Chains A and B, each alone.
Chain A
């Protein structure tokens, strides 16, 4: 597909118009759009800052007084900021598509690149890639903050809390999983925003989907069946099990299984968004 493009002389509009725009061009166009406005860069920086700040604050708030047993999952604790950072990631992903709708840019985009699935795929790849990069920094910073703060608060190796390190299997899984979690939240948000189009409504739906499940769970303590279902299949409570490193047997769903549930939500949202994008007028 890309062979004639690279082989053909560049800068000849007549030649290029003959070709079907390839994935590489679509990606390049979307990258240019993301790169040339200041919003995404600020939002990515905001994701990192908020995640690390909240993680560090949460870690600093917990102390383990001498002589008591502290049943704390320190890895999960030092990754608390993800719950806040995901909100910024959701804004970024929602704006990646709904920003085009609010300015009418989407009509130009789809005229230039009529293959609508490819447009959405390009956006998904770029947004996920950017979030993976920012998420890695955010999670790295959070783990580092935990490493610095925790020993001073009573969580020492002598008491069964070894220095937080990515060399430790479960910690690595929690950290890498949290990065993937953010990327999946971005894809979920992108899919929903593509389906809904309006940014305010989209962000409302995304944050409702994420944040309501732990609240509704509190009202379902009497009903183990529904409690268990919601715990297992709500995107946030399932996805965040990837952060657990202690008490794994008591989890409603296995860590990778939980992330899989979130991935299914993201895939479903992208599919629905893609189908609606294809069927509807822009």
Chain B
């Protein structure tokens, strides 16, 4: 665009004035010179950051009064601050507590076993009428869906160390799991004396391969995993564990209706076969993960047969699961202010077009640049970019200072990778920007600010409110958060959802039915649809 180019810019030329850059510049000038809109955008940024920080500031440490009572490590007082949970090889906080009947294995080798029975005990059906403390009369036979028992090869006995395991589960068949977050399905079906399962783990270097079989003759490979940094001598053997029994009361409401109580699982193993170098020679049984020996577990050996009982879980920790001692606060909590920012943004974006209609400025605008689609595109670009920048600054401030605030107060906040952090911050800003474009489009369609503002707020914010505070069943809420523009809040989800861990995954605890960017795409689709409708109507109608 220097003076020497072939088509220099000449202010007097009609073609130049109608260019998109000129329209864009005109719209930008309109935006920045209306004090109310600039103030509104600043307010949006301030409430987005401010409310999030306020929430982070008032948050007191929840674990100070909590003591893990069941199957898991006791977490009290100062232990909550940072090192409350063991950290797995993937860097995520994990539960690692189970009963382990083990021998050291040096170098390569394998272990094979037959599982002939898998039973367990559940807490009383109605915990409110519990008669005695942990008495056998209170409990009933049964297994939680993800109760597990089988073979495990683990890099030492410390919590959070790398492992690979072949296991039978109560409701999900044979699985191969490794390093807490990975899960591969094997043979389906439950274990019984009539239908036993054979499991095998083979170590070769840092590669561990899992096999299963129905008869001990015909083996199927389930999976192969590489455990980085596996030492030459590992602990290998039998394990049993059973996660807390979680009750979601009929799936009604998104609120705090999950409760969890300890359960236990007992597996009977037969035909234990070992190959390779096992220098120990005898089996040792101990409970992994109970510093204070509070864990439930035991084993009993009769010839070749082992009966192992355990409680706890080998799995990632779920944020906001409602399980006692688990953390509730995630990154998403810092961004609760974006809902307030959203309302301010919607007001400004709607007025960006409706004010033109009210003041009659739209006639001047459309006379100056008769290509109406371009005018709307320029407006969308201006309001979207301004909102994105304001949202980005606000969300980044909320996350960065919120984290400092909670660290200062010693509250445990579920950790997130930098990629997640980046996605949540950029996602919050993009959500505000696309909502602004949607508001602009609906403002153009309706031409009345009150109706347009209300419509946009109702379609974006209300479905989410229904999700966090209503009497609707979870399935209906799932659909609301899939098909309405509120699906976009999925982009703020900070903690991953694991199918192999039973927990209350609800919007209240920060989980959404759609994947983050898929949910965001739903909002984008609505905005695109509204914008097309706005262009058509703007062209067709008199201004």
Contacts and interface: CB of A to CB of B under 8 A. Distances in A.
A161 to B, nearest CB: 13
Interface residues of A, number: 46
Contacts of B350: 200
Contact of B464 (A72, A215, A220, A223): A215
Contact of A70 (B250, B448, B449, B458): B250
Instruction: List the 7 closest pairs (A to B, CB-CB), nearest first.
Output: A200-B449, A204-B347, A61-B476, A219-B336, A219-B55, A214-B469, A199-B450
Contacts of B336: 215-216, 218-219
Contacts of A218: 336, 468, 508
A222 B62 contact: yes
A188 interface: no
Contacts of A207: 343, 453-454, 457-458, 461
Contact of A222 (B60, B252, B344, B449): B60
Interface stretch (A85-93, A119-127, A133-141, A262-270): A85-93
Given A61-B476, A215-B461, 5 more contacts: A87-B457, A91-B454, A216-B55, A216-B336, A221-B256
B58 A211 contact: no
Nearest to B468: A218
B454 A90 contact: yes
Contacts of A215: 336, 339, 461, 464-465, 468
A83 B454 contact: no
Interface string B460-492: 011011101111110110000000000000000
A198 B406 CA distance: 39
Contact of A91 (B62, B450, B466, B476): B450
B465 A223 contact: no
A43 B452 CA distance: 13
B502 interface: no
Contacts of B429: none
Interface string B263-274: 000000000000
A77 interface: yes
B249 interface: yes
A70 B62 contact: no
Nearest to B355: A200
A62 B471 contact: yes
Contacts, number: 139
Contact of B462 (A69, A201, A211): A211
Interface residues of B, number: 52
B454 A222 contact: no
A5 interface: no
Given A88-B454, A211-B465, A62 B473 contact: yes
B131 to A, nearest CB: 20
18 contacts: A61-B473, A62-B471, A63-B473, A76-B471, A88-B454, A91-B451, A98-B450, A198-B449, A199-B450, A204-B347, A207-B454, A215-B336, A218-B468, A219-B52, A220-B55, A222-B58, A222-B329, A237-B469
A95 B450 contact: yes
A27 interface: no
A87 B333 contact: no
A214 B454 contact: no
A226 B62 CA distance: 14
B307 interface: no
B324 interface: no
Contacts of A87: 454, 457-458, 462
A80 B411 CA distance: 36
Nearest to A57: B476
A212 interface: yes
A77 B471 contact: yes
B340 interface: yes
B472 A61 contact: yes
Nearest to A88: B454
A80 B450 contact: no
A211 B461 contact: yes
Interface string A68-109: 111111001100100110011011001100100010000000
Interface in B136-190: none
Interface of B: 36, 40, 51-52, 55, 58-62, 249-250, 252, 256, 328-329, 333, 336, 339-340, 343-344, 346-347, 350-351, 354, 358, 411, 448-454, 457-458, 461-462, 464-466, 468-473, 475-476, 508
A226 B343 CA distance: 23
A218 to B, nearest CB: 5
A135 to B, nearest CB: 17
A208 interface: yes
A153 B233 CA distance: 61
A41 interface: no
Interface of A: 58, 61-63, 68-73, 76-77, 80, 83-84, 87-88, 90-91, 94-95, 98, 102, 198-204, 207-208, 211-212, 214-223, 226, 237
A90 B343 CA distance: 15
A277 B344 CA distance: 24
A191 B41 CA distance: 24
Q: Find the residue from A83, A214, A220 having the highest chain B CB count within 10 A.
A: A214
Contact of A204 (B62, B250, B344, B469): B344
Q: Find the residue from B328, B350, B411, B457 having the highest chain A CB count within 10 A.
A: B457
A200 B453 contact: yes
Contacts of B343: 204, 207-208, 211-212
B451 A212 contact: no
A62 B472 contact: yes
Nearest to A193: B450
Contact of A80 (B249, B252, B333, B471): B471
Given A203-B450, A219-B55, A71 B328 contact: no
Nearest to A223: B58
A63 B474 CA distance: 11
Contacts of A216: 51, 55, 336, 339
A61 B253 CA distance: 12
A198 B359 CA distance: 13
Nearest to A237: B469
A84 B465 CA distance: 11
Given A199-B450, A204-B347, A212-B343, A217 B250 contact: no
Contacts of B461: 207, 211, 215
Contact of A84 (B256, B448, B458): B458
A159 B374 CA distance: 62
Contacts of A221: 256, 328
B471 A94 contact: no
